[in-house]
Amino acid sequence: MWLKLFFLLLYFVVLFMLARIFEAVVWYETGVFSTQLVDPVTLSYKRLKTILECRGLGYSGLAEKKDVCELVEKSGELTQGELYSAIKKEKEQTEAGDSSTTHFSGEMHFYELVEDTKDGIWLVQVIAQDQEALLGQSNWGKMVKKVSQFGIRTGTFNCSNDYRSCIKRGWQHSTLIMSVPQTSASKGKVMLKEYNGRCIETENIFRWMTSHVAHRIKTLHQSEQLVEEWHSDQAHPVKMFLFASLSQPPAFFSSLSVKFTGRIEFIFVDVRHWDNHSSLSEIGVTHSPAYILKMPEGIYRYGNSTGEFLSLAAMDTFLRSVQPEVNDLFVLSLVLINLLAWMDLFITQGATVKRFVVLIRTLGTYNSILLVSWLPVLFLRMVRKTNNIQSAAGHIL
């Protein structure tokens, strides 16, 4: 019997070692080859469009491959890791099918999710009573897929469910509504924008959305503005700068400015007609495009380390490590507390049953203390949420 147990243990040890070897190979490939630069000229027109889709740049008017290559180069250096991630994400979206979208039941539901969400962007399709939707089911599905990769949530509001609210808001015809925080202050007001364009193609609607979101970002055109912005405004000690020869920042950069409202200030420096390049070299910008994070501790150039791709998910992970939100801190404390509790399983002396009894007791004690410690924060957030809903109900009545 002991011989069987020995071979069974040996079998699991071999499996464990093989798994670690394969993981080491993958880590080596992703860690070394992912940082290698890719020349956009060597890619096909389809691959270049995939990169622009992930970065959130419009290419509808670019018919030549060289123009698309130039736009990719202007928005940032392309690495093997970003190319692989973009291709993988495109395949996942194709296999996943239609993305989920919210169906609003009425005014209160719309207010709670859209107008009371201060750090997010919404695209809502309003279907007027006894009318067809502005975008058909197929085009709406394409629109949902396109905007969801930039953290933009979508929903539909059917006026047949709440005709009174549609009349009050002036939604007498089927339309598209976008909500975006109006100011850069945390928990600021949300403004609703209605799409008035004649063309209802996906690319035109997306361009309309990104232009409105980009207007929230402070844009600098002259060296004097950069020097003043670089050395002032202590209210926002952490700033994310984008130096590029573009008419507006990529969509992923603009979307992150909304998500990190009140924590990180995003600034776009348009260097297309720059008058003084010495001001760039003085602050450490040797070439554009460049993504520079300025902190009290110093400056950091984004894109030099493994996994720092020009996409919303990658930069969001990086910025959350610099400026975490309350939910991130709660999850981190929860993980640390449970890791400490599991240590009792190894330091407790006695039989196996005794070890697990002590583990369960420790887990319950530690997690209870953690929840009690976080109760004041959760209570304040709940009170704020309740007050907002009550004010909305009073406004509706």
Q: Please, are residues 203 and 139 in contact by the beta-carbon 8 Å criterion?
A: no
Look at residue 233 in the predicted model and tell me its pLDDT.
64
Handedness of CA 86, 90, 93, 99 (dihedral sign): positive
d(CA 285, CA 308): 18
Within-domain flag for 53? yes
**200 and 114 housed in the same domain:** yes
Which pLDDT tens digit goes with each residue over 79-118? 887 888 888 877 776 665 556 788 988 888 888 888 776 6
Range of the domain at 194: 102-214
The domain boundary residue, chosen from 214, 243, 263: 214
Identify whether 320 is part of a domain. no
Shared domain for 21 and 77, answered yes or no, is no
Residue 293: other Cβ atoms inside 10 A: 18
Confirm whether 250 is domain-assigned: yes
Residue 241 shares a structural domain with residue 338: no
Q: Would you call 57 exposed, middle or buried from its count of C-beta atoms within 10 A (0-12, 13-18, 19+)? A: buried
Three-state secondary-structure class, residue 301: strand
Rounded CA separation 283/291 (Å): 13
In terms of domains, do 125 and 222 share one? no
Kindly state whether residues 110 and 158 are assigned to the same domain.
Answer: yes
Q: In this structure, what DSSP letter does residue 285 have?
A: -
Q: Are 306 and 81 in contact (CB under 8 A)?
A: yes
Quick one: 139 and 169 in the same domain? yes
What CATH number corresponds to the domain at position 210?
A: 3.40.30.10
Does 161 map to a domain? yes
350 and 297 within one domain: no
Report if residue 318 sits inside a domain. Answer: no
Tell me the C-alpha distance between 36 and 314, whole Å.
Answer: 17
Is 266 part of any domain?
Answer: yes
Are 86 and 109 in the same domain? Answer: no
- pLDDT for 268 equals 92
The lowest-confidence range among 128-142, 203-217, 275-289 is 275-289
Rounded to whole angstroms, how far apart are CA atoms 116 and 242? 29
At which of 75, 96, 117 does a domain end? 96
Q: What is the chain's mean pLDDT, rounded?
A: 79
* 378 and 364, same domain (yes or no): yes
Nearest to 395 by CA among 119, 116, 185: 116
Give the pairing of strands 265-270 and 218-220: parallel
pLDDT digits (tens, 9 = 90+) for 228-265: 888 776 666 888 999 988 888 998 898 988 888 878 88
Res. 119 pLDDT band, cuts 50 70 90: low
Q: What percent of the chain has pLDDT over 70?
A: 81
Judgement on whether residues 227 and 293 belong to the same structural domain of the protein: yes
Of 79, 96, 113, which marks where a domain is finished?
96
Predicted local confidence at residue 5, as pLDDT: 62
Is residue 321 assigned to a domain? Answer: no
Give the residue among 253, 257, 168, 152 at the shortest CA–CA distance from 205: 152
Residue 278 lies in a domain: yes
* Same domain? 334 vs 272: no
Hey, is 300 helix, strand or coil?
Answer: strand
Q: What is the count of structural domains for the chain?
A: 5
Both 205 and 236 in one domain: the answer is no
The pLDDT of residue 211 is 87
Spell out where 201-296 has E strands.
218-220, 239-244, 265-270, 290-295
